[in-house]
Amino acid sequence: GQSLEQPSEVTAVEGAIVQINCTYQTSGFYGLSWYQQHDGGAPTFLSYNALDGLEETGRFSSFLSRSDSYGYLLLQELQMKDSASYFCAALMNRDDKIIFGKGTRLHILP
Amino acid sequence: DSGVTQTPKHLITATGQRVTLRCSPRSGDLSVYWYQQSLDQGLQFLIQYYNGEERAKGNILERFSAQQFPDLHSELNLSSLELGDSALYFCASSTSPTDTDTQYFGPGTRLTVL
């Protein structure tokens, strides 16, 4: 079947760096997106990788390796407001469905 | 505020009933997506519409249907409701059908089936 695996929870300290991994098993993979969702809120788009390598957007970066079916989201200079759930999502063949991982809950300690 | 609106915010109904959820995309966005989010299943893609036409289908049950109207708003119809249909239902929009990488989510409708 098609699935994305990511850790259920990650804990880090304010000001530190944290990496959230995502491995996928899909056919017709096109690209990997990342979304942030605060409790009670809607998902918001963070980053997208269609090609191998690193994409940087401010404190957030995302990486993709197609050969390893693996990607990660890197959050730097962690702030308390970064406490949220983070989802990776695989795009299939650009005009097909989207599959989300179950999400990683990020806890940040002061 | 993403610019995507959803109504109602909360909906409480009984098993066996039918409900309609409404979504208005961001101004200029032609593509609308529907998602279901529950605690045990996570975020599940249901269906996508582009400019009135169905574009992609995910894990949408036969009891569920959707449509996109000429003014681009969309409705998700859920019928013969079961307890397990209780969830958050999100609508998202994007500019084109191929901009699935960047979607803007509405605030969601929380459906409770009693």
Instruction: Establish how many alpha carbons lie within 13 A of residue A67's alpha carbon, considering only the half-sphere containing its beta carbon.
Output: 2
pLDDT for A84 equals 96
**Are A43 and B105 inside 8 Å of each other by CB?**
yes
SS3 B96: coil
DSSP 8-state class, residue A53: E
SS3 B20: strand
A5 vs B: CB within 8 A: no
pLDDT in tens, A40-94: 899 998 998 989 999 998 999 999 999 999 999 999 999 999 999 999 999 877 5
Which residues neighbour A29 within 8 Å (Cβ) at sequence distance 6 or greater? Answer: A66, A69, A90, A91, A92
Cα–Cα distance, B88 to B42 (Å, whole number): 10
- Candidates B47, B101, B102: best to mutate against A (most CBs of A within 10 A) is B101
Which B-chain residues 27-46 have CB contacts (< 8 A) with chain A?
Answer: 33, 42-45
Cα–Cα distance, A30 to A33 (Å, whole number): 10
**Are B103 and A99 inside 8 Å of each other by CB?**
no
* B-chain residues near A50 (CB < 8 A): 101
> For residue B103, which amino acid is it?
Q
